[in-house]
Amino acid sequence: MSGLAARIVVRRPSFTLEVDVAAQPGEVLAVLGPNGAGKSTLLGVLAGLLRPDDGTVRLGDRIVTGDGVHVPPHRRGVGLLAQQAMLFPHLTALANVAFGPRAQGVARQEAEERARELLAAVDVAELADRRPAQMSGGQQQRVALARALAPGPELLLLDEPLAALDVDSAPAMRSLLRRVVKDRKQTAVLVTHSALDALVLADRVVVLTGGSVVESGPAREVLARPRSPFTARIAGLDLVPGEACADGLRTADGLVVAGLSAGLRDGESAVAVFPPSAVAVYNSRPEGSPRNVVPVRLAAIEPHGDVVRLRAAAVAGGPAWVDGLAADVTPAAVADLGAEPGVELWFAVKATEVQVHAAG
Amino acid sequence: MTRSRSHTHETGVALPALLWVPAGFAFALIALPVVGLAVRADWLRLPELLLSTSALDALRLSLETAAISTTLCILLGGPLATVLARGRLGGLRLLRSVVLLPLVLPPVVGGLALLFLLGRTGLLGRGIDVWFGVTIPFTTAAVVLAQTFVALPFLVVSMEGALRTAGQRYEAVAATLGASPSYAFRRVTVPLVLPGLASGAVLAFARCLGEFGATIAFAGSLQGTTRTLPLLVYLERESDVDAAVALSLLLVVVAVVVIAVARPRGVEGLR
């Protein structure tokens, strides 16, 4: 398993991409950014489909792009899973997955055996003899994932792999990616718009805006404490780490955050996620339906577009994990609450607003 | 298959009524002459006329040369179309215009041009005659060359269109899977453009079968060697009109069979 280290400069009439990205062996790096930030250009350069104006791409101890060096895509060992499955329409699912190994000279029987194993690993073993036209979008994307893994790529590029899926098949594909990419320690670069994808799938995150990296760090930190406006807009999520349990998530201090945790095993490392807009703020402990009510001390008040973001810190003797949680309220509410840094408040969140995801 | 989908409930958008009139005339212009041919035919003498030695010779020669020419079109035109669609050279647009030349050139001019290139005193013909002792004009090889010349653009245009429609995205995917350009071409590009190639081949075959002008100018009209069906039809028209009509009907039948075999993706390949 090899790591990735890339420094890339691409000059285009409209913008200049100038980035430095790296992924340790077995690590998943998420690249977040708005449209036109240069994400696809970055992937194109890593795959060898584009030549940068300047820079170096190092895979393991091989330089695949650099001074006068340009290893063509088919000799790089860089796999690609894009938004569209792009399965070869004239081949069955099995032949699609066996394509990579066959292209590298693996005997047909062995290639098909490997393809069958991979189709089973992505839960579509029964579709082996179907052609792409006879599969749903979600099924096609699973086969495409198996196909991308089949040649055993040193680096896997995931270009918004969930963006084209409908709301019903995206969550299943997300947990599948987690299982076959992250858990198997496949070095990967994931381009996405979704903070959730980055949180569930990636170890580290870089945020790309206007062609350069504006933020980078461990996924959970960057997404919970965004420093750039873009990250704040798409992420700025409230995250609570812990273990999955029947009612939601159990934090390190034993408190349960009630939430929806479909499909997780008890005790599995997880994170509870909810948007700051779902947090209601009270002066005194509220009586009512919200299942999650915690005392906090107000640490900071940040203007945030049309709303005001209240940033929490732990109160003495209260749960420590509230540190950094955010609540979005209207300016009028801030006045009504008499909120100023240092006061003690109560945050309340309905359990239905809290999603518990495997993470870490 | 989308073909079997029922359209009974689709109302769609109505056609302007006025279109039906010129459309009807256009159809009549194509269909009625064939009817006229069938009416004029002497059906009782038909077997005798079609089974004459000269007719059988011409039919055999026509089918053989058209088949060889179509094969040549595929072997030469396929790679040419790929270069035109995918190549990254300057001047490809000029090259494409040249490739379309036989489409717009009167065939007899093409035949003369071939004669001046490959004739015994021609630009290349002299060398071929001197070095190899081979004379091309007025041989079956000349028939094949003339047919290939006029039919090549049909295959190239049809296949280049298919290549452009297919785009290069699948080839890029193949490359990320480790496929070399030649492996990707064989296993991905060719299967993807096969319908376009097939429809191009059918058009080329039909064009070869009907070829007259270039053939008579470059290959002459020798029974059994260069006298294909269209040439025989033209010759018989002078002496035995019944025979000319019978042979014409035979060409119509062959054309209908070609369309039937190629359907639906061949001739209607643009869908």
Residues of A in contact with B184 (CB under 8 A): 74, 103
| Residue A109 sits in the same domain as residue A256 | no
Residues of B in contact with A92 (CB under 8 A): none
Rounded to whole angstroms, the Cα distance separating B90 from B95 reads 10
Q: Is residue B49 part of a domain?
A: yes
CB contact under 8 A, B174 and A86: no
| Number of C-beta neighbours around residue A285 at 10 A | 10
Please tell me which of the candidates B170, B179, B184 has its beta carbon nearest to residue A86. B170
Residues of chain A with pLDDT under 50: none
| Residue A276 sits in the same domain as residue A147 | no
> Is the pLDDT at B2 greater than 50, yes or no?
no
User: What is the gyration radius of the CA atoms in chain B, in angstroms?
Assistant: 22
- If you measure CA to CA, which chain A residue comes closest to B183? A103
| Residue A199 sits in the same domain as residue A278 | no
Mean pLDDT, rounded, for B95-110: 92
Please tell me which of the candidates A86, A90, A151 has its beta carbon nearest to residue B178. A151
B3 touches chain A (CB under 8 A): no
Identify the residue among A43, A45, A74 best suited for mutation to test binding to B, counting B beta carbons within 10 A and taking the highest.
Answer: A74
Please tell me which of the candidates B178, B181, B191 has its beta carbon nearest to residue A104. B178
| Residue A224 sits in the same domain as residue A260 | no
Q: What is the CATH number of the domain that holds A192?
A: 3.40.50.300
Mean pLDDT, rounded, for B235-251: 90
pTM over 0.80: no
> Is the pLDDT at B4 greater than 60, yes or no?
no
B192 touches chain A (CB under 8 A): yes
Q: What is the CATH number of the domain that holds B214?
A: 1.10.3720.10
For B55-79, how does the pLDDT look when each residue is reduced to its tens digit (9 = 90+)?
Answer: 899 999 999 999 999 999 999 999 9
CB contact under 8 A, B179 and A100: yes
User: Complex ipTM above 0.90?
Assistant: no
Identify the residue among A51, A99, A159 best suited for mutation to test binding to B, counting B beta carbons within 10 A and taking the highest.
Answer: A99
Q: Give residue B7's pLDDT band: very low, low, confident or very high (50, 70, 90).
A: low
Q: Which of A218, A237, A256 is the last residue of a domain?
A: A237
The total number of structural domains that make up chain B: 1
Q: Is residue B211 part of a domain?
A: yes
> Is the pLDDT at B1 greater than 50, yes or no?
no
B197 touches chain A (CB under 8 A): no
